[in-house]
Amino acid sequence: MIDVVLKTVRRHLSRQSIRLPSAAEWTLRGDELHARLPGTAVGKNIQTLGPSVPWYALALCYWFEVAGGERLNTVIEIDGPVPDGPHARRARFMLTELSSALGDRVRVEGIAPWRIPDGAVMNAPLGPRAASGDAGTAEHQMEVLLTGHANTPMGPLQRQFPLGLFDGVKSRDTRLFPGNGAQADLWSFDEASRTLHLVELKVQGNATVGILPEAFTYAQLLRRFAEHPTAAWSEEWDGARAARNAERTVMWLLAEELHPLVFALERSPLTWLNERLADDGLEFRVARFERAGPDAVRFTDPWPG
């Protein structure tokens, strides 16, 4: 029963507060953990509880196995029509890439795959990102602080790598994926190793399980886009050149604290993705930080070490 799996994971992580999203119907059938999700939920932001259900399921299977349980595979069942729209297309892309990366561990049923079409366009920044200033949210302020930090695990950082996707030309009417706010929060490029670093930043306890689909989707989208023969940026910029020239991409989850299903006990379900995607030049890493003063940040040792 699903309750046995959940209790085992809670006990292993010493977190009785872990809950599964009520947006899905959860069942255990033999060695398969099934999450049945309404098609309408796929049309929501991938960080929210509905579209993040596959990642709750994957994380539960991972931690159950780590805790000594038998191997469980994840089955995501989409029940009913999926609405068309930017959020739904992005969620379909995420599910397509997830099942491709972890095909023997993850199966998706009831939804058509989605891949980047010919002639797709990705947006470029509208202008230089401010490297100073106090306006905006706590996350904005931390972005600004980190761009001035000389010693981050990712090297010198720049703000915001836009990841909106459009059909042929950038406009409100041609959006394939959400445009406004769809971006990696920070990024850098190491010329010597030809490594592109992307950063998904969360502050003040905002790091839910939703950080997993967000980070995975952004990393896979940029990788697929950069290698697509007919896709192009709306205009040339430093990030576009870095993405095309990168031999390796590292997607960082950077937060003060992370949900225990995402990272705990120096372990993460991202291990499975790193094992499968290493040959593709993609790695997921975790770093935590703490404030060491109004304008200072201290980082923990990155994972994997």
Q: Is the pLDDT of residue 69 over 90?
A: yes
Asked if 62 and 72 touch (Cβ cutoff 8 Å), the reply is: no
Asked if 48 and 37 touch (Cβ cutoff 8 Å), the reply is: no
What are 213-243's pLDDT values in tens digits? Answer: 999 999 999 999 999 999 999 999 999 999 9
Q: Specify the pLDDT at position 34.
A: 98
Q: Specify the pLDDT at position 111.
A: 96
Q: Which of 79, 76, 64 is nearest to 18 (CA)?
A: 64
Q: Could you tell me the CA-to-CA distances from 128 to 44, 179, 187, 195, 243 in Å, in that order? A: 30, 18, 14, 22, 18
Q: Specify the pLDDT at position 138.
A: 86
Q: Specify the pLDDT at position 213.
A: 97
Residues 262-287 have a mean pLDDT of: 98
The Cα 235–Cα 241 span in angstroms is 11
As a residue count, the chain comes to: 305
- pLDDT > 90: what percent of the chain? 86
Q: Show me where the domains of the chain are located.
A: 2-109, 122-299
Q: How far, rounded to the nearest angstrom, does the alpha carbon of residue 74 sit from its chain's CA centroid?
A: 18
Pairing assessment for the beta strands 32-38 and 282-293 based on DSSP bridges:
unpaired
The Cα 266–Cα 10 span in angstroms is 16
Q: Specify the pLDDT at position 132.
A: 47
How confident is residue 148, by pLDDT bands cut at 50, 70 and 90? Answer: confident
pTM above 0.85?
A: yes
Q: Is the pLDDT of residue 29 over 80?
A: yes
Q: Specify the pLDDT at position 128.
A: 64
Strands (E) across the chain are located at 25-29, 32-38, 73-79, 106-109, 120-122, 158-162, 165-167, 183-190, 195-202, 232-233, 248-255, 282-293, 296-299
Write down the CATH number for the domain with range 2-109.
3.30.750
The Cα 37–Cα 59 span in angstroms is 17
Tell which wins on pLDDT, 140 or 164: 164
